[in-house]
Chains A and B, each alone.
Chain A
Amino acid sequence: MSTTRATPAAAPPTGSGGRSAGPGDPDPHRWRNRLYRFDLRYTPYLLVAPFFLLFLVFGVFPIIFNGVVALRHWRLDDATLTGWAGLANFEKLLTDDDFWNALYNTFGIFLLSTVPQLTLALVIASVLNRRLRAQTWWRVGVLLPYVTPITASTLVFAAVFARDTGVANWVLSVLHIGGAEPIDWRSAKWSSWLVLATMVNWKWIGYNALLYLAAMQSIPKDIYEAAAVDGAGVWRQLWRITVPMIRPVVIFTVVLSTIGGLQLFTEPMLLEQNAQAARGGANGEWQTIAQLIYKVGWKDLNLGYAAAMSWALFLIIVVVAAVNALITNRLGGGKR
């Protein structure tokens, strides 16, 4: 930036740029002024433009195009089946068992993962916010799961929760929990949801904890001291002081994990032994919406219908994220 501004100042007004202003220019400083004002006003836009151009090409265009596809018949296994479908794809959605099953699964896994995730993150953050030995070690430690590639950790968890050879069943049998038969984690909704929620929580608790921690650092310590003098315990301090004071970050994490949770894809895909099937269990026990979209689009090769599903998911996420943000705002004591 400095070069843009420096050039006219450093170069004498005889430079080609200056000359173009014309010898009949009544005020030699005018050109420089104009350049300065242009710089002040438009350079920021120029600097942010690359992001927005890329966003238009790779963000807005696909979304709009997706909307167009959603209104068409488009099948990859039959090139002759094209043309406008109107709202047929969306109507099909309303009576599609698979879609409602996937929606139910997605919300189930979402609740099982988001609620404990954010609660635990809050607790961990407030612990990390105290004076601890080897503080940095702990803080980096909670972030490690986030750094692990999601595919790698999912494959490890899938092995842990294997029916015949998994560590989870071995631990349960050592502790004498459960029946004689090993639990087939993939065969029922509750168990497969639990497995998936475990994966999601493991990955994101540390990440959210660090976000909370960063926000907590800005709360003045004397507020806590005053509260302690007034007799407020640790929990009371957490809910009455910490949470209201980091409210914006809490809302941010709630919205973020809503979006992430409703788009859950990699974990359910890789939990399946034959990941390619995208079935989410023999009877779709844990098939999420994102997975169903993949299956309809790339396995049934029905792109039009898959596009309609993506739009439906988009709308659902917008609504849920807005509601969540509103509730969190209220809970945190906000008045907006």
Chain B
Amino acid sequence: MGGFGARWVRLVAASAAGVLLVAGCSGNPGGDSDSGGTITLKIGIWGDFGINDLKARYEAANPNIKISVNTGEYNAQHEDLQKKLIAGDGAPDIAAIDEGFVIQFRGQADKFVNLLDRGAGQYETRYLPWKWKQTLSADSRTQIGLGTDVGGLAMCYRTDLFQAAGLPTGRDQVSALWPTWDQFIATGQTYTSKTGKKFIDAGTNIFNPVLGQQPVGFYDQGEALVMEGGPKVAFEVAAKAIAADISANLPAFQPEWNAGFAQNAFAVLACPAWMQGHIKNTAPETAGKWDIAAIPGGGGNWGGSFLTVPKQGKHVDEAYKLLEWLVQPEQQIEIFKKVGNLPSQPALYQDPAIKDFSNPFFNNAPVGQIFPRAAEGLTPQYLGRKNGPTRVAVENVLNRMQTADLKGKPLSEAWAEALKEAEKAAKS
């Protein structure tokens, strides 16, 4: 081997030393050790709950508390919480749960702190009644979470791109363009033919809001999968939009979608209140170019979350205190102004701080009027235990219609595939 051999040995030795070094460093004890009397509270969320902005204020007021926010992917965070609950260890002190997953966790109320025992009952009257019930156990004795935000629905659009396509840019004029989804798709075709660019981000972002407008979602109250009702209506509208070739084929919440915001890859986006924060964080350079109009077909809901305290947490008392603080009007208003999440406490909608608030990022759209109106007129759907995985399965079929094997195939074939995948998800 000659000189090579010796060098080879040296290389191996050096890299082995490196591995040992790394291994040695990682042997550092867990981060939640309470050194010097301070307590670290872990919060598990996805997206932006506005907690990052409030964190410093709470820590300043409570010097013994440090808040550590773990932001993960939406589905992954829920799956992770589920694993930790069964494993009996490792859940965050405060875990966020979205309405799409809440039924699944409500069925395991014994693994969460009963907030009623902590005096959360006093807040019941403040909440939208259906929001309060979504986390309440069947016997009304256990409340596992307090609502943070509700979705509500509107349609965000890019005024600059609309102008370039010769479309009106005023809020009311734009709303008048699309009272129905058919008219919305027709508007998209006008836009695409004039500019050569795509109108919507992905078929799934038509599917989800349309499904949110249906009286029944994927599951009925008896936990039976009912695809022929709401899901079929939503699927057909989404398929129509895809067939009209107005979709940029950018599956939501993924890197290319995020890049699409900056590259003007699409001109409209179905906007629940929480989407405002996402747009702002993803494409800060588009400030002022967005505006918000009504969504075709009126109202509907998409998303909205809860904060819960898993029993296995090490600092349950402190966690509840922080949770209580976060749902107080002052903080809820602050979150709405900062990231757009609409509070689920209707009394706040009358507060001038919300009522008169217009979002400068969205061309000063009166979001304090738009979203509360959507939320108050809401009759929420029942979302079954397997709602999360089922939604992902059907979204995948819609994605395949835009990029893969189902591209250009007749609707009946795609729908059969959606049925098959949804049933698989329901049984998985």
12 contacts between A and B (CB under 8 A): A76-B86, A136-B3, A136-B4, A139-B4, A140-B7, A165-B256, A273-B251, A273-B254, A277-B392, A282-B396, A301-B83, A302-B428
Is A217 engaged at the interface, CB distance under 8 Å to the other chain? yes
**Residue B36 interfacial (CB < 8 Å):** no
Known: A77-B104, A136-B4, A163-B256. A276 touches B75 (CB 8 A): yes
* Per-residue contact bits, chain B 78-108, to A (CB 8 Å; 1 contact, 0 not): 0100110011000000000000000010001
Interchain residue pairs A-B with the least CB separation, the first 8: A273-B254, A187-B404, A276-B76, A300-B428, A282-B399, A282-B400, A187-B403, A76-B86
Is A162 among interface residues, defined by CB-CB distance under 8 A?
yes
Interface residues of A in 246-285 (CB under 8 A from B): 273-274, 276-277, 279, 281-283, 285
A140 engages B11 (CB within 8 Å): yes
Q: With A77-B82, A282-B396 in contact, do A273 and B404 touch (Cβ < 8 Å)? A: no
Q: How far is the CA of A126 from the CA of B39 in the complex (A)?
A: 62
A33 at interface (Cβ–Cβ under 8 A)? Answer: no
- Cβ contact within 8 Å between B404 and A276: no
> Which one of A139, A164, A285, A298 lies within 8 Å of B256 (CB-CB)?
A164
- B interface: dominant SS: helix
B396 and A79 within 8 A (CB): no
Interface residue total, chain B, C-beta cutoff 8 A: 33
Q: In the complex the two chains form, what is the Cα distance from A163 to B392 in whole Å?
A: 22
Give chain A's interface residues, CB within 8 Å of chain B.
76-77, 79, 135-136, 139-140, 147, 162-165, 184, 186-188, 214, 217, 273-274, 276-277, 279, 281-283, 285, 296, 298-302
Known pairs A76-B86, A187-B405. 16 more at Cβ < 8 A? A76-B87, A135-B4, A140-B11, A162-B256, A163-B256, A165-B256, A184-B403, A184-B404, A187-B403, A274-B251, A282-B399, A282-B404, A283-B396, A283-B404, A285-B404, A301-B83
Q: A77-B86, A277-B75 are in contact. Are A217 and B400 (CB under 8 A)?
A: no
Alpha-carbon distance A274/B258, docked complex (angstroms): 12
Q: How far is the CA of A296 from the CA of B404 in the complex (A)?
A: 23
Is B389 on the interface with A (CB-CB < 8 A)? yes
Tell me the nearest residue of chain B to A162, going by C-beta: B256
Residues on the B chain within 8 Å of A281, using CB: 404
Residue in B closest to A128 when the chains form the complex, CB atoms: B4
- Measured between beta carbons, the chain B residues less than 8 angstroms from A302 are 428
Q: Are B259 and A165 in contact (CB under 8 A)?
A: yes
Among A164, A165, A184, A301, the residue within 8 A (CB) of B79 is A301
Complex Cα gap A279–B251 (Å): 14
Q: Which residue of A lies closest to B407 (CB)?
A: A187
Chain A residues near B73 (CB, 8 Å)?
274, 276
**B60, CB-defined interface residue at 8 Å:** no
A276 to B76, CA, bound (A): 6
Q: Which B residues touch A147, using CB under 8 A? A: 15
- Asked, given contacts A140-B11, A300-B389, A302-B428, whether A214 binds B1 with beta carbons under 8 Å apart, the answer is yes
B37: interface (CB < 8 Å): no
- In the complex, what residues of A have CB within 8 A of residue B406's CB? 283
On whether the beta carbons of B403 and A282 are closer than 8 Å, the reply is yes
User: Is B31 interfacial (CB-CB < 8 Å)?
Assistant: no
CA distance A274 to B74 in the complex (A): 11
Considering the complex, which residues of chain B in the window 380-428 have a beta carbon less than 8 Å from any beta carbon of chain A?
389, 392, 396-397, 399-400, 403-406, 428
Q: Chain A residues near B428 (CB, 8 Å)?
A: 296, 300, 302
- Cβ–Cβ < 8 Å partners of A214 in chain B: 1
* Chain A CB within 8 A of B123 CB: no
Q: Specify which chain B residues have a CB less than 8 angstroms from the CB of A165 in the assembled complex.
A: 256, 259
Report B112-146 residues with CB < 8 Å from chain A CB: none
The distance from the CB of A75 to the nearest CB of chain B, in whole angstroms, is: 9
> Taking the complex as formed, is B27 at the interface, i.e. its CB lies under 8 A from any CB of chain A?
no
Pair B404/A188 contact, Cβ less than 8 Å: yes
Interchain nearest-CB distance for A80 vs B (Å): 10
B325 within 8 Å of A (CB atoms)? no
Residues in B with CB closer than 8 Å to A136 are 3-4, 7
B1-25 contact mask (Cβ, 8 Å, vs A): 1 or 0: 1011001000100010000000000
- Contact A283 B400, CB 8 Å, known A162-B256, A163-B256, A273-B256: yes
Nearest CB of chain B from residue A270's CB, rounded to whole Å? 12
B104 vs chain A, min Cβ distance (A): 7
Q: In the assembled complex, which residues on chain A have CB atoms less than 8 Å from the CB atom of B400?
A: 282-283
In the complex, the answer to whether B82 meets A301 with C-beta atoms within 8 Å is yes
The CA-CA distance from A79 to B404 in the complex, in Å, is 38
Complex-state Cα separation, A3 to B292, whole angstroms = 82
User: Chain A residues with Cβ under 8 A from B259's Cβ?
Assistant: 165
Residue of A nearest to B79 (CB): A299
